[in-house]
Structure 1
Amino acid sequence: MPLYKTITPNSQTVVKIWKITESFNDLMSEITLKPETLKRVSGMKSELHQRGFLSVRHLLAAFGYEDADLFYDENGKPHLKDGKQISITHSFNFSAVIISDHIIGIDIEKQRDKITLIAHKFIGYEDDYLDKTAPDYIKKLTTVWCVKESLYKLFATPGTSFKQCFLVIPFEIQDEETMAWIDYKEKKHRYLVHFFEFEGFVCAFAIGA
């Protein structure tokens, strides 16, 4: 079982990361899926996406849950039947699940140069401190994306803009944490967001009250 890493940021919160090395058949053979989940995974065109989806079910099992314990609301936000908070992410050959008593959000993203092509869609305030000529520019850009995606999942409010509503204060990669704000409808919400890089990826997770 390739459980890659377990992080316990506080006594009410656990993060588990999975490195996806198994085949689709191997991942399918060890779990029980609800009929609607089976239909969903069978309809996916990409095997990479299927394997990522199934690896999340294995992460649920590592937490002591089954697929039947997980459901999604009308906005696509995942929930657990026991009331615990959950957030899910997968990117290429890694997936992660965070479970907490607090509201939370998590994201994993592969570091790729092509992120510069969409930077204008999610970089606003951060443009004042990001140095496009710095050797760690791609890492920082990817980190900003992950931080904002984790906040988006935590806030779970349709219509929020990555560029306008989510603000990430200056940070260094070695800090592995930063302050971030959600500015929405004349209210500001402040969060401490943790992040780290591994094997060419960035993971960020935000924990609310």
Structure 2
Amino acid sequence: MPLYKTITTPENSKVLIWKIEESYSELQEGIELTSNCKARVASMKSEIHQRGFLSVRQLLKAAGYKASDLYYNSSGKPHLKDGKEISITHSFIFSAIIISDKIIGIDIEKQRDKIGIIAHKFVDYEFGFLNREDIKRLTVVWCVKESLYKAFATDGMSFKQHTKVIPFNLNEAQTVGWIFYHGQIERYKIKFLEFEGFTCAYAIKS
């Protein structure tokens, strides 16, 4: 199918979300993979991951880029050759990218009960306004922290120790995220949305 959703933010950042319904061969149509991309796809044992990978290249095409315009640094953070910032995510049947002049991060996660079981691994401050049964808001917190992690892209950063998500209501669809890392303090505007049992959040550095 075509794009599932496109969002343009006031900061001139663009979010593109794809629902992965096509076959592997259909997702190959209209995109030219680099030799590195072909090798990466071939090394993936799961077709779900292969289709997720190809759907991201379809999103790049929808944003006006070629697969060859994307590269990764030594830490694994994606970059675009024109200097714009990019962040990438995929989860099961959805993938998404965000492109911006600002520092950004994005994450999609399926809403599942098991997040309550692992909440203690990534939640600290946030237990002041939610609990382990609050699956939807816990999923938002996870997505926000993953987005902050992708934006900051620093080895040794901990979701639990170095990030905080300000209290929010689901119907507000926005909050603020903070990074406190060895004397560095960064503030990020957060937007989030829910669709078909999934949560997506993206962080834009203030």
Tell me the SS of whatever aligns to 2:9.
strand
Match of 1:147 in 2: 144
Taking the aligned partners of 1:29 and 1:16, their CA distance within structure 2 comes to: 19
- Report deviation, 1:187: 2.8
Alignment size in residue pairs: 206
Match of 1:167 in 2: 164
Q: Percent identity?
A: 62
Taking the aligned partners of 2:2 and 2:135, their CA distance within structure 1 comes to: 28
Taking the aligned partners of 1:132 and 1:37, their CA distance within structure 2 comes to: 39
Amino acid at match of 2:95: S
Summarize the alignment of residues 19-58 of structure 1 with structure 2, pairs less than 5 Å apart.
19-58=19-58
8 Å CA contact 2:116, 2:132 repeated in 1: no
Taking the aligned partners of 1:61 and 1:81, their CA distance within structure 2 comes to: 14
- Report deviation, 1:30: 2.6
| 1:198 equivalent in alignment to 2:188 | no
Taking the aligned partners of 2:167 and 2:143, their CA distance within structure 1 comes to: 15
Amino acid at match of 1:35: S
8 Å CA contact 1:12, 1:102 repeated in 2: no
Match of 1:4 in 2: 4
Taking the aligned partners of 1:204 and 1:132, their CA distance within structure 2 comes to: 19
Match of 1:61 in 2: 61
Tell me the SS of whatever aligns to 1:15.
strand
- Report deviation, 1:11: 5.0
Match of 1:130 in 2: 130
Tell me the SS of whatever aligns to 1:12.
coil
Deviations 1:167-192 (A, max 9, x none): 01111111100111101112321221
Deviation beyond 4 Å, 4+ runs, structure 1: none
Q: Given the two structures, how large is their TM-score scaled by the length of structure 2?
A: 0.97
- Report deviation, 1:129: 1.3
8 Å CA contact 1:115, 1:141 repeated in 2: yes
Aligned CA RMSD, in angstroms, stands at 1.1
8 Å CA contact 2:24, 2:47 repeated in 1: yes
8 Å CA contact 2:119, 2:132 repeated in 1: no
Match of 2:177 in 1: 180
